[in-house]
Structure 1
């Protein structure tokens, strides 16, 4: 409760809008935090959450939470954690020296894999739903589930995924989440990293129009489409793989 009031008070002195974005969302069918911490507190306004919009905002006037379309532009508040300070001391003086982290000589630290055409790093996760996978990507260096902007990038990513060629079913163990999602019943698709949607590689008949297959999947073998083609699925499904992406070290 204190943190909620603190944010509202700060927002009142900074923003001129009526409300602002924070990290609550309903993209996978239940309200949760983007950083994957437990959703153990809420302060919804009267009649909320409406559950017709998938993102949460805070009313500056009273600090109550409301829901709104995720694509409406609003000011927002970010939260980060203070990293531990590494220090060394000598035996002859009380002077403390702060050691600043230095980037790796390689563009990507292990187990991330570098792709020169996008200047990005990629990593494969196992057995997660879409939002948990995206949260795990974000916790590891500020990444997201991967956006894909060319056929070459699609092929590179598909080849990273250890799909089992001997698995003879088109089911969750041989599918992979990436950063594609929709919030308008599949009328339009977007990337979770907010980059332009300028490339697609859908399998025949996809995306469907079920209204509840709101997250993008990469097909492994035996899914009635070429290896690496895109499908759509229920965001809360746990699938075999997920693909993270983040910028390489500059």
Structure 2
């Protein structure tokens, strides 16, 4: 009888951490944000313990350890300091985080989601790995605009508002928004991206002036997640379809609702093909 009780107790002890992780909505949300929406693993490594020689948009950089290791990661930082580094690109010592960390995109992360990201990072297995900052990263350190303290979540009952949030978080705005004379053009594309072979890819117009009205919602999901157009042709870099494979259909549905809501517009540069 005693032996049976011991087995039961050991089973409970072993399973409790996993069960806690699986039933903690905040950590589950953080997991989804870090790995599937923001794709932090692309730079910081699958274990998020940091990586060297990371290639992002033609930039080679080293990404630091963001596990909770006290010596080489963020274990010595408070939750507020971790949040500040993500949203505003400011380390605890007051120095700025350099490229290619997309701080201006992360300024859009809601308070609740930022809290979930920090909770998930705290839950990771510790990795003791020292990553030295690359020379390019050090040279590019600068203030990332005004400091943002509060960001409300989008209206949960408004698919277009939620879709706009997704549009910002999964980096669509970095390539498909355009600026001219301090005016923002959302979704019009028209930005040139030089390829290794010397050719130039122009980001597509995602407004009704582009090709999207000819795509069904399901076809558009396939374009986003797998980079394949309805005619079978494939998108070219820098469209990062490989990081969109696990974005939830609910988020893609909201994103598409947002794109369908955009007014027709043209890029203030050569039109995309």
Shared fold (TM-score greater than 0.5)? Answer: no
Q: Which has the higher helix share?
A: 2
Q: Which TM class, normalised by the smaller chain length? A: under 0.3
Q: TM-score, normalised by structure 2?
A: 0.22
**Relative contact order, higher structure (CA 8 A, sep 6+):** 1
Q: Which has the higher strand share?
A: 1
